[in-house]
């Protein structure tokens, strides 16, 4: 078995001067169905990338592959310099993931959820640190409540706390704003900004073009398993990007 877990410092440390994500000729098939067809992509450390695309374009599959939750049919993925297949534990040590489901245990208290996932990420937290992490998402007043008793928005905020545990260098977010109320969305945006300022890398999958445009420095569009757009985010670029995105969406509907 891999012994990387014995060294918490090693697992969360990206290799120096390596891109946060480096993908070469990535192909993914489910059975005979091709989902991703030859993706090449490099994401520099410290950037924020938004990935857009219609349903079925392969966005979530791409995110799962980077998170090592899926295995490429062919091609390579390097996360913080670590091969996602051969050095899976080290690649996972660099990456956190926030899905539209919070991935927390309903029948465990909020505090116990944070304590457990911090241990799982190899960075156990003291009671004070747990409360600080919860206060960050305005959840410290419900620390002893079962997660299942929280509102959807609060539970999603607990999912945000979970995703940032273990100080990942790369955060993968799959539709992170889905189901969030205004307050929760604001807290998530603040957290993402602080993460970026600390040198973290964000890869966000979203349908909401204007929201994605606000948080990203680079925008990608995936269509039928291929990257068809890769542009820097500029204040005046939103309109033309949104128009192209709508065209692709219409093409899917037709």
Partner 1 sequence: MRVFWAILWKDIRYELRRRELVAVMTVFALLVVVIFAFAIGIRSESPASMAASVLWVATSFAGTLGLNRSLALERDEQCLKALLMSPADRSWVFLAKATGNLVFLLAAQVILTPLVIVLFGVEDTGHWSLLGVTLLLGSAGFVGVGTLFATMATSTRMRDWLLPILLFPVEVPVLIAAVKATAHVFSTAPPGESTIWIAILAAFDLIFVSMSILSFGFVVEE
* Binding footprint of partner 1 on the chain (CB under 8 A): 1-2, 4-6, 11-12, 30, 61, 64, 67-71, 88-90, 92-93, 95-97, 99, 101, 103-108, 112, 116-117, 119-122, 162, 166
Which of 43, 96, 36 lies closest to 223 in space, CA to CA? 36
The residue (of 205 and 233) whose beta carbon lies closer to partner 1 is: 205
Q: Are 240 and 70 in contact (CB under 8 A)?
A: no
Q: Could you tell me the two tokens for 199?
A: 């040198």
CA–CA separation, 128 and 103 (whole Å): 23
Q: How many CA atoms lie within 13 A of 217 on its CB side?
A: 12
* Cross-strand pairs, 222: 227
108/238 with CB nearer partner 1? 108
Minimum Å gap between C-beta 114 and partner 1 is 12
Closest to partner 1 by CB, 81 vs 122, is 122
Cβ proximity to partner 1: between 156 and 245 the closer is 156
Cα distance between residue 56 and residue 60, in whole Å = 9
CB of 228 to partner 1, least distance (A): 24
Shortest gap between Cβ of 244 and partner 1 (angstroms)?
Answer: 30
Using DSSP bridges, classify how beta strands 95-98 and 82-83 pair: parallel, antiparallel or unpaired.
unpaired
Give min distance, CB of 104 to partner 1, in A: 7
């Amino acid at each position: 078995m891999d012994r990387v877990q014995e060294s918490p410092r090693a697992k969360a440390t990206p290799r120096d001067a390596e891109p946060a994500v480096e993908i070469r000729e990535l192909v993914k098939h489910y059975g005979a169905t091709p989902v991703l067809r030859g993706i090449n992509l490099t994401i520099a450390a410290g950037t924020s990338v938004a990935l857009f695309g219609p349903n079925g374009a392969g966005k979530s599959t791409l995110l799962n592959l980077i998170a090592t939750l899926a295995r490429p049919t062919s091609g390579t993925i390097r996360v913080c310099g670590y091969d996602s297949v051969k050095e899976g534990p080290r690649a996972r040590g660099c990456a956190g993931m926030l899905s539209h489901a919070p991935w927390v245990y309903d029948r465990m208290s909020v505090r116990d959820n944070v304590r457990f996932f911090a241990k799982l990420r190899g960075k156990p937290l003291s009671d004070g640190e747990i409360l600080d992490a919860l206060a960050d998402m305005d959840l410290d007043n419900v620390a002893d409540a079962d997660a299942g008793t929280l509102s959807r928005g609060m539970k999603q905020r607990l999912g945000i706390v979970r995703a940032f545990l273990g100080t990942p260098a790369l955060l993968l977010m799959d539709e992170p704003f889905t189901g969030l109320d205004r307050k929760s969305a604001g807290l998530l945006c603040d957290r993402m900004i602080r993460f970026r300022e600390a040198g973290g890398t964000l890869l966000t999958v979203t349908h909401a073009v204007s929201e994605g445009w606000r948080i990203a420095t680079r925008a990608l569009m995936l269509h039928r398993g291929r990257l068809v757009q890769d542009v820097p985010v500029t204040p005046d670029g939103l309109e033309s990007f949104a128009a192209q995105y709508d065209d692709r969406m219409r093409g899917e509907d037709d």
